[in-house]
Amino acid sequence: MIIDILTIFPNLVASPLEEGILRKARQEDLVTINAVNIRDFAADKHQVTDDRPFGGGEGMVMKPEPLALAVESRRRQGSLVILLSPQGEMFNQAVARELAGREHLILVCGRYEGVDERFRERFVEREYSIGDYILSGGELAALVVTDAVTRLVPGVLGCTDSALNDTFSRPLLKHPQYTRPARWRGMETPAVLLSGDHQEIADYRFSEAVRRTAERRPELLRRAEFSEREKKTLRNNGFTAEMALAHHEE
């Protein structure tokens, strides 16, 4: 898989690519991630990539030609051009899974007041936002997308089940986690986790995931789908997951 991040600040992107999972994926040639400097495609000696908006108004707008040339230098058959923008569709785990199946992503990082609309109409195939707040540019959003997608590429994570069981792999928050020591500052690890009974542990973790979701993100339960066995497990635990069960029994 190839991910090209088009930005006027390549150094802002470069450092995170040298750490953690992203570094491992690149070292093992599972993913190629490039920071492409849009300024290299500007026509003037000062490498200007923005200008004042027609019609007046505050701020600057990214010029269409440097953006277009940058995309054209990378685009090939199978490429998907994505603009990171607060106006885009909300990026989530389902989108990450879909993008992980692509051969080549071109992530365009917007800046200032946005990009020239003609570039967006001609070149952009998808627009994604990572949340309803304002960032200085699309670089951090592009890194979020890159990280979320890369960890789903086969072979990147040492444990295949890790990606499958993560928060948002289904519309549930992850269950509480515990590690050594079993007793810490007077607080005990739940006995079931020390029992060695794998099915009991799985049932406990599932129930706690639903409990936590009901407490913190109840809206997610509207999209949750439970098997008959899972419904029985929830009933047997008798906690505040009634709203989830009621949803499925309507």
- Active site members: 86, 113, 151, 166
Q: What is the 3-state secondary structure (H, E, C) of the chain?
A: CEEEEEECCHHHHHHHHHCHHHHHHHHCCCCEEEEEEHHHHCCCCCCCCEECCCCCCCCCEECHHHHHHHHHHHCCCCEEEEEEEEEEEECCHHHHHHHHCCCEEEEEECECCCECHHHHHHHCCEEEECCCCCCCECHHHHHHHHHHHHCCCCCCCCCHHHHHHCCCCCCCCCCCCCCCCCEECCEECCHHHHCCCHHHHHHHHHHHHHHHHHHHCHHHHHHCCCCHHHHHHHHHHCCCCHHHHHHHHC
Q: What are phi and psi of 185, to 5 degrees?
A: 50, 45
CA–CA separation, 178 vs 190, rounded Å? 9
Token pair for 50: 């923005």
